[in-house]
Amino acid sequence: MIKFTIITLFREAIEPYLKTSMMWKAVDKGLAEFNFVNLREFGLGPHRSVDDTPYGGGDGMLLRCEPVFAAIESVKSKDPSAKVILPTPVGEIWNQKTARSFMEASEHYIILCPHYEGYDERILSIVDYKISLGKYVLTGGELPALIIVDSVVRLIPGVLGGEKSAEIESFSDGDNLEYPQYTRPEEFRGMKVPEILLSGNHGEIAKWREEHSGTADNSSKY
Ligand code: ADE
């Protein structure tokens, strides 16, 4: 069973998604487990502060070491083998291959969601994986956490309806995901389903799909 423990100040921004659709199904089937740790509980002083201004000056606030280390150590005290993921725009770019390798390793992953302008660099000393969702900057780690969890959990055998759905991607490195697909009606507003898909010729259909992999969503064809 794959486990995610999400350390965040904004559980309410994450939890509804994990209680919906396939993520909920994965939990219901005992294939995944999601837990939350409130970073605020490890905050300092009467205001349970988790951030401070940067040495050397500059805008914004940085996540402090003490609450982050305490939160991670509280999880690791129960499971020392848990691996720490830090979503950050300067991490390794996430793709389908890494999602699959995380699924196959089936570990307990702790995702630390930073907020504010950034984090104290020393936090990296307890991080196993720095992961970027792309070359743009988000407000915090909550959306990246959801994307990481979703893309890993949907690959667990038994989570998607037909295993075919994940199989389609099994050859992929994330650049060449799917062939175009169609359902009824055969013609919609003048746009026709390719003849070959109606032919019942499975060999020809497989060939067509291979040839058209990676061309899905090419609306210029109509
Ligand atoms: N935090 C802020 N921006 C991010 C990004 N692009 N990827 C991962 N974590 C982030």
Instruction: Decide: 31 and 3 in contact? Cβ < 8 Å.
Output: no
Q: How far apart are the CA of 161 and the centre of ligand 1, in A? A: 30
Instruction: Decide: 62 and 54 in contact? Cβ < 8 Å.
Output: yes
> Residues 177-215: pLDDT tens digits?
689 999 999 999 999 999 999 999 999 999 999 999 987
d(CA 130, CA 123): 11
97: part of which helix (H) or strand (E)? Answer: helix 96-105
> Residues 121-173: pLDDT tens digits?
999 999 999 999 999 999 999 999 999 999 999 999 999 986 665 655 655 55
Q: Sign (positive/negative) of CA torsion 62, 64, 70, 72?
A: positive
Query: Where is average pLDDT lowest: 18-22, 63-67, 158-162, 163-167?
Result: 163-167
Looking at per-residue pLDDT, the higher value among 153 and 219 belongs to 153
Query: Where is average pLDDT lowest: 29-33, 38-42, 56-60?
Result: 56-60
Q: How far apart are the CA of 90 and the centre of ligand 1, in A? A: 8
Protein residue closest via CA to atom 1 of ligand 1: 88
Q: Is 134 in the pocket of ligand 1 (CB under 6 A)?
A: yes
> Which ligand 1 atom sits nearest the alpha carbon of residue 141?
1
pLDDT at 219 over 60: no
Which domains, ranges and CATH numbers included, belong to the chain?
2-153 (3.40.1280.10), 168-222 (1.10.1270.20)
pTM above 0.85, yes or no: yes
**pLDDT score of 178:** 87
